[in-house]
With several copies, the nearest count.
Chain A
């Protein structure tokens, strides 16, 4: 993926966040997008990391979800049992950010294994907080690079639930969060059809054509009748992104 398309993906995801929301953030692309939102249009976005940091305000992109700066800049740091039981589980958090290695047409995700579980071709890191983030947050945003390897007709393993096997499945499973609201890729944006729950391409990024997206999808992709085009990253957005990416590692505050 080119740097430009990576930037577009981060910017598109950042734009999907509103000021004042609470956002459960994983490391990597989601953290970049959430911090970009904080640095631009959503200064009061409350970032929550599963390490127990609530309201972190990092000035640089953390390498891990437990970096010292996340704790030092947090409104509160709570034990890990509390972050899951008191904060994530009750559905207090507006937006959960997820990435994955594989995604299917119902936005179910696989970050566990490629191949069979017992005899894997590639063993991936696994679930982490994903199953409960996907189940409990009011809405979920997925960030994933789009290709036939990642957009598959059949997941090798279901690590977290989007819309399961289709309409009504989340309710049957007792999942109280709203599920995936948007899938943001390096090519465009997909949203679930309100009736079928299947992902529909609604926006394409600058320089991308619908056929490029179809070619990068492992199923017969639905494309919205009023397909729109993502506005290119503004100077301000790109400048803020550079600042976050270039900020130096600062040592942990002294005792």
Chain B
């Protein structure tokens, strides 16, 4: 529970080929370091789950880690397309990518049901859209009191849930603050959980907006300073908006993408 170990070791022991891997962080605290380690270790046939695939899944998809993507918004925020995601969906490169598409509200509700030990969640959503016709994990349920029909989505319980946080103490208790997205739900819904952190402290001091996750529900903690760059870690470093913009030309062509990944990820020293 909350064992502190090197990131490479944590990924090796917790992430296996074919796993369903959720990696969350809503714009903030995106676990890039963990994603890069998964790429370096050459994991294959993963089902990747994220509300916003963002650059991290664009990279993992382009490097061939994923057979399937579960998501709700697949763009480069404020910039445009995720070219590797598009190349996989439109042209099957490096290999075809199965997609399971939701809305933010629906995918979020799936995490909540997963964290709550319920088989499904109910929401006002999807009605009249094209999504139920394309996504098998959208159904309806009838209110036993009013007879009203609502949308239902199944619980999401990933094999592995990975998030990045600002701090952990030496017992593996975790604190994150700022925009916390669905990170707590990701940890609680997953069979195994890995939290990378900016720093390991002797004692966690609860901060304004701070969310503490007790060690006994955390699988492993890995010290990964800067582990959410080029996204940001409130209190540590800002979002590298320039890199998000630079990613557009880098990722547009397969060769430039592969070259960049070789130079900046594959040949990088594991943290």
Alpha-carbon separation in the docked complex, A66 to B75 (Å): 14
- Considering only CB atoms and an 8 Å cut-off, how many residues of chain B contact the other chain? 70
Interface readout for B159-197 with A: 1 if CB under 8 Å, 0 if not? 000000000000001000011111011001000000000
Residues of B within 8 A of A222 (CB): none
Residues of B within 8 A of A126 (CB): 71-75, 101
Alpha-carbon separation in the docked complex, A62 to B27 (Å): 12
Interface readout for A56-99 with B: 1 if CB under 8 Å, 0 if not? 00000011111110111001110111001110111110000000
Residue B217 at the chain A interface, CB threshold 8 Å:
yes
Q: How far is the CB of A58 from chain B (nearest CB, A)?
A: 13
A252's partner among B73, B74, B238, B244 (CB-CB below 8 A) is B238
Whether B212 pairs with A135 at a CB distance below 8 angstroms is no
> Interface of B with A (CB < 8 Å)?
26-28, 51-52, 71-75, 77-79, 81-82, 85-86, 89-90, 101-105, 108-109, 111-112, 115-118, 123-131, 134, 148-150, 173, 178-182, 184-185, 188, 209, 211-214, 216-217, 232, 234-239, 241, 244
Alpha-carbon separation in the docked complex, A176 to B97 (Å): 36
Stretch in A45-53, A189-197, A206-214, A239-247 with 4+ CB within 8 Å of B: A45-53
Whether A86 pairs with B116 at a CB distance below 8 angstroms is yes
Residue A131 at the chain B interface, CB threshold 8 Å:
yes
Whether A51 pairs with B73 at a CB distance below 8 angstroms is no
A76's partner among B131, B185, B212, B235 (CB-CB below 8 A) is B212
Residues of A within 8 A of B130 (CB): 112, 117, 157-159
Residue A120 at the chain B interface, CB threshold 8 Å:
yes
Interface size class for chain A? 35 or more
Whether B181 pairs with A80 at a CB distance below 8 angstroms is yes
Alpha-carbon separation in the docked complex, A131 to B216 (Å): 24
Most buried by A among B89, B216, B234, B235: B216
Q: How far is the CB of B85 from chain A (nearest CB, A)?
A: 7
Most buried by A among B81, B86, B130, B236: B130
Measured CB to CB, the nearest residue on chain B to A48 is B214
By DSSP majority rule, is chain A's interface helix, strand, loop, or mixed? Answer: loop
**Which residues from 18 to 68 on chain A have a C-beta closer than 8 Å to any C-beta of chain B?**
20, 22, 27-28, 46, 50-55, 62-68
Measured CB to CB, the nearest residue on chain B to A49 is B179
Residues of B within 8 A of A89 (CB): 105, 116-118, 123-124
Whether A129 pairs with B103 at a CB distance below 8 angstroms is yes
Whether A80 pairs with B182 at a CB distance below 8 angstroms is yes
Total cross-chain contacts (CB, 8 A): 219
Measured CB to CB, the nearest residue on chain A to B148 is A174
Alpha-carbon separation in the docked complex, A54 to B209 (Å): 13
Whether B103 pairs with A128 at a CB distance below 8 angstroms is yes
Whether B179 pairs with A71 at a CB distance below 8 angstroms is yes
Whether A84 pairs with B27 at a CB distance below 8 angstroms is no
The 10 closest A-B pairs by CB, nearest first: A66-B27, A90-B117, A125-B75, A128-B73, A64-B77, A63-B78, A161-B128, A255-B235, A76-B212, A84-B105
Q: A80-B182, A123-B85, A132-B103 are in contact. Are A174 and B77 (CB under 8 A)?
A: no
Whether A252 pairs with B179 at a CB distance below 8 angstroms is no
Residues of B within 8 A of A55 (CB): 214
Interface readout for A98-120 with B: 1 if CB under 8 Å, 0 if not? 00000000000000100001001
Alpha-carbon separation in the docked complex, A254 to B109 (Å): 33
Whether B105 pairs with A132 at a CB distance below 8 angstroms is yes
Whether A52 pairs with B105 at a CB distance below 8 angstroms is no
Q: How far is the CB of A105 from chain B (nearest CB, A)?
A: 16
| 17 additional contacts (CB under 8 A) given A51-B26, A75-B212, A123-B89 | A20-B216, A22-B216, A55-B214, A66-B77, A66-B181, A75-B214, A76-B214, A85-B115, A85-B116, A86-B184, A89-B117, A112-B101, A122-B86, A131-B105, A158-B130, A174-B124, A252-B232
Q: How far is the CB of A20 from chain B (nearest CB, A)?
A: 8
Whether B131 pairs with A127 at a CB distance below 8 angstroms is yes
B125's partner among A53, A75, A135, A253 (CB-CB below 8 A) is A135
Most buried by A among B103, B108, B131, B179: B179
Q: Give 12 CB contacts A-B under 8 Å.
A: A63-B241, A64-B27, A76-B214, A80-B26, A90-B188, A122-B90, A123-B74, A128-B104, A132-B124, A176-B124, A249-B241, A251-B237
